[in-house]
């Protein structure tokens, strides 16, 4: 039996009881890792937590991989927030950006029969039961119909129905890993739950994919699949196949700086066009959602997670990052209050503390927007950014929830965008698709 076959899942725990039991088992393993760590520490007081973090990360990831769905999605999200987790977790969880153990053939056929009343062979001329890639919420298979090569995305059984209960189960792990306050964690989990419920609705994803790919059709060096609503359902999506490589494989080919810049520019334009022209954005910028085609275009293959930006968030947020508002202390504090970064009950000393800390953070984050070009290949900017993030995560003042809920996905989107541009080492013209902000005088 091949290793891949051995990793294939013949079933996914779908009931609350089964999924809860899997988390309890993982909790025992993690507890055992702590006991092992502290036993060793008795004999070696200078022992650090590296091995403990690696063991815990491996056990938690293994459990989340088998459960799939929202549990694995949270791991994927956390791996993108590089400044809030120990390195061992980031390294392990970032695997979920590319792969997870795939479902077995019989389970695939069962899913098709449930949603179409037919097997895949009765729908397509050809259908490969072996998946091409398996991620957190679904896996992709290659198919063919009327000479057209297709990608068929199949959602894992039980994933959509178990989001709320899964997030309750993930909460204790997240609480321990993130060190957030209870209130902050609740806001985080509620917003994540809202987006995940949308992300598991494949009919909604098909509608949005068509809408967004039409809206972005004129952007240069960007390609989208064609979607087939008649061959899609609540748990299955059929789209045309885009040939290409994921970022990791592409970078191994040692591409030219010119090509890196071209792709970086396409990505920058794609995100800023959506944020400023559509006021809604593809909020899942992890490398697994993009393909680099043989002719140097960027293929966007997943519109499952969309974050809409209401006006009361958009205007104060982008005024801070894209205008000279930060030069005006009074206006800046006003914007911080609207965004709940400064709270009504803060004392004058707290107002001053949060004003200067957030001022420093936004000045740093907004650097790419403050000049007409930016070189994302420079590591100094990222060292400074992550160093500052790490500093904040250790400050007791930031254990309390700050900022409106929209920050969760908007920050994730922009930091995810920065990270991919950094991996590409791209030099980008940042003065395209600017925010529509008129400062009040």
In-domain check, residue 225: no
The answer, yes or no, to whether residue 391 has pLDDT greater than 70, is yes
- Say if residue 386's pLDDT is above 60: yes
pLDDT score recorded for residue 392: 78
Q: Which of the given ranges, 260-264, 287-291, 299-303, 429-433, has the highest pLDDT on average? A: 260-264
Contacts of 302 (CB under 8 A, 6+ apart): 282, 284, 288, 289
Two tokens, residue 139:
């896996």
Residue 278 lies in a domain: yes
pLDDT band at 84 (very low <50, low <70, confident <90, very high): very low
- Among residues 175, 209, 225, the one where a domain terminates is 175
Number of domains in the chain: 2
Q: Angle, to 10 degrees, between the axis of helix 182-199 and the axis of helix 163-178?
A: 140
Do 256 and 392 lie in one domain? The reply is yes
Q: Characterize the bridge pairing of strands 138-145 and 133-134.
A: antiparallel
Residues 6+ apart with CB under 8 A from 354: 336, 341, 342, 346, 397, 402
Residue-wise pLDDT for 202-219, tens only, equals 999 999 999 999 999 999
Distance of CA 309 to the CA centre of its chain: 17
Say if residue 169 is in the same domain as residue 262. Answer: no
Can you read off the two tokens belonging to residue 166? 């899964």
Query: Where is pLDDT greater, at 437 or 21?
Result: 437
The neighbour count for residue 392, using CB atoms within 10 Å, is 16
Residue 349 in contact with residue 323, Cβ under 8 Å?
no
Structure confidence at residue 398 (pLDDT): 75
* For residue 421, pLDDT beyond 50: yes
Residue 284: alpha-carbon gap to chain centroid: 4
User: Contact, 55 vs 33, CB < 8 A?
Assistant: yes
Which whole-number Å values give the CA distances from 120 to 8, 135, 154, 241, in the listed order? 19, 20, 11, 17
Whether residues 169 and 268 share a domain: the answer is no
Q: What is the pLDDT of residue 134?
A: 67
Q: What is the mean pLDDT of residues 176-183?
A: 60
pLDDT band at 46 (very low <50, low <70, confident <90, very high): low
For residue 51, tell me if it sits in a domain. Answer: yes
Higher pLDDT, 7 or 300: 300
In sequence order, which residues have a C-beta less than 8 Å from that of residue 15 and are 6 or more positions away?
158
Measured CA angle at 137 (ends 139, 185), to 5 deg = 160
| Residue 352 located in a structural domain | yes
pLDDT band at 435 (very low <50, low <70, confident <90, very high): confident
| Side-chain half-sphere CA neighbours of 390 within 13 A | 11
Q: How confident is the model at residue 257 (pLDDT cuts 50, 70, 90)?
A: very high
In a domain, 44, yes or no: yes
Burial of 371 (0-12, 13-18, 19+ CB in 10 A): exposed
pLDDT score of 269 more than 50: yes
171 in the same domain as 258:
no
Distance CA 35, CA 54 (A): 15
CA atoms within 13 A on the CB side of 45: 0
pLDDT at 229 over 70: yes
Examine residue 17 and state whether it is found in any structural domain, yes or no. yes
Q: What pTM was estimated for this model as a whole?
A: 0.76
CB 359 within 8 A of CB 326: yes
Greatest mean pLDDT among 168-182, 367-381, 385-399: 367-381
Do residues 261 and 406 share a domain? yes
**Do 310 and 437 share a domain, yes or no?**
yes
d(CA 384, CA 365): 10
User: Of the candidates 230, 227, 231, 229, which has an alpha carbon nearest to the alpha carbon of residue 239?
Assistant: 227
Q: What is the crossing angle of helices 69-80 and 163-178, to 10°?
A: 30
**CA separation for the pair 178, 154 (Å, rounded):** 31
Supply the pLDDT for residue 209: 93
Q: What SS3 state is found at 118?
A: coil
Tokens of 251: 């970078």
CA distances for 315 relative to 51, 191, 305, 409, 439, angstroms: 45, 21, 22, 16, 9
User: Is the pLDDT higher at 409 or at 53?
Assistant: 409
Give the mean model confidence (pLDDT) for residues 103-132.
Answer: 89
For position 83, what pLDDT does the model report? 44
Q: What percent of the chain has pLDDT over 90?
A: 42
Three-state secondary structure call for residue 260: helix
Do 347 and 247 fall within a single domain?
yes
- What's the pLDDT at 133? 74
Quote the tokens at residue 398: 């930031």
- What's the chain's average pLDDT? 79
pLDDT at res. 93 = 47
Instruction: Report the pLDDT averaged over residues 135-158.
Output: 88
* Co-location of 304 and 420 in the same domain: yes
Q: Are residues 256 and 343 in the same domain?
A: yes
32 in a structural domain: yes
Coil, helix or strand at residue 309: coil
Domain residues for 346?
243-441
* CA angle in degrees (0–180, nearest 5) for 264-269-274: 135
Last residue of a domain, one of 157, 175, 193: 175
Determine the pLDDT at residue 155.
86
Judge whether residue 1 has pLDDT over 50: no
On the 0-12 / 13-18 / 19+ scale of CB atoms within 10 A, 93 is buried
Where is pLDDT greater, at 239 or 304? 239
pLDDT band at residue 370 under the 50/70/90 scheme? confident
Question: Which of 154-163, 191-200, 291-300 is the most confident on average?
Answer: 291-300
Residue 211 pLDDT: 94
The pLDDT score that the predictor gives to residue 400 is 65
Share of the chain above pLDDT 70, in %: 69
Q: Collapse the DSSP code of 60 into the 3-class scheme (helix H, G, I; strand E, B; otherwise coil) and give the result.
A: helix
- Asked if residue 190 belongs to a domain, the reply is no
Query: Could you say which of 147, 175, 203 is where a domain stops?
Result: 175
pLDDT of 239 over the 90 cut: yes
Residues 381 and 286 reside in one and the same domain: yes
pLDDT digits (tens, 9 = 90+) for 282-323: 888 878 889 999 999 999 988 888 889 999 999 999 998 888
Residue 419 has pLDDT above 70, yes or no: yes
Q: Are residues 346 and 430 in the same domain?
A: yes
pLDDT of 173: 61
Residue 322: predicted pLDDT: 82
Is residue 249 located within the same domain as residue 376? Answer: yes
Check pLDDT > 50 for residue 34: no
CA distances in angstroms from 184 to 159, 180, 306, 394, listed in the order given:
25, 6, 22, 15
């Amino acid at each position: 039996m091949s290793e891949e076959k051995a990793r294939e899942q013949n079933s996914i725990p779908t009931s609350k009881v089964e999924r809860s039991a899997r988390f309890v088992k993982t909790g025992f393993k993690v507890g055992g890792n702590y006991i092992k760590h502290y036993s060793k520490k008795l004999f070696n007081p200078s022992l650090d937590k590296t091995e403990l973090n690696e063991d815990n990360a491996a056990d938690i990831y293994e459990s989340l991989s088998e459960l799939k769905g929202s549990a694995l999605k949270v791991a994927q999200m956390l791996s993108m927030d590089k400044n809030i987790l120990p390195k061992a977790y980031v390294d392990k969880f970032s695997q979920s950006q590319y792969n997870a153990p795939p479902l077995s053939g019989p389970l695939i056929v069962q899913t098709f029969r449930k949603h179409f009343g037919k097997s895949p062979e009765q729908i397509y001329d050809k259908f490969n039961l072996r998946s091409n890639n398996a991620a957190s919420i679904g896996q992709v298979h290659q198919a063919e119909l009327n000479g057209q090569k297709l990608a068929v995305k199949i959602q894992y059984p039980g994933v959509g129905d178990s989001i709320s209960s899964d997030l309750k189960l993930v909460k204790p792990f997240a609480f321990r890993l993130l060190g957030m306050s209870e209130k902050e964690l609740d806001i985080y989990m509620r917003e994540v739950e809202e987006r995940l419920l949308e992300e598991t609705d494949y009919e909604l994803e098909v509608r949005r994919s068509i809408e967004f790919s039409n809206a972005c059709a004129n952007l240069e060096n960007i390609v989208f699949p064609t979607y087939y609503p008649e061959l899609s359902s609540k748990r299955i999506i059929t789209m045309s196949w885009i040939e290409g490589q994921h970022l990791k494989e592409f970078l191994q080919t040692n591409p030219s700086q010119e090509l890196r810049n071209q792709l970086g520019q396409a990505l920058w334009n794609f995100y800023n066009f959506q944020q400023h022209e559509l006021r809604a954005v593809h909020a899942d910028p992890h490398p697994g959602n993009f393909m680099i085609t043989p002719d140097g275009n960027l293929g966007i293959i997943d519109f499952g997670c969309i974050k809409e930006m209401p006006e009361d968030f958009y205007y104060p947020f982008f005024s801070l990052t894209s205008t000279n508002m930060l030069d005006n202390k009074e206006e800046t504090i006003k914007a911080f209050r609207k965004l709940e970064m400064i709270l009504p009950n803060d004392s004058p000393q707290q107002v001053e503390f949060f004003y200067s800390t957030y001022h420093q953070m936004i000045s740093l984050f907004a650097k790419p927007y403050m000049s007409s070009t930016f070189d994302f290949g420079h590591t100094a900017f990222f060292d400074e950014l992550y160093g500052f993030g790490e500093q904040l995560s250790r400050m007791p003042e930031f254990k309390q929830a700050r900022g409106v809920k929209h920050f969760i996905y908007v920050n994730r989107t922009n930091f995810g965008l920065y990270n991919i541009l950094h991996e590409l080492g791209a030099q980008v013209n940042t003065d395209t698709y600017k925010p529509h902000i008129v400062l009040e005088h």
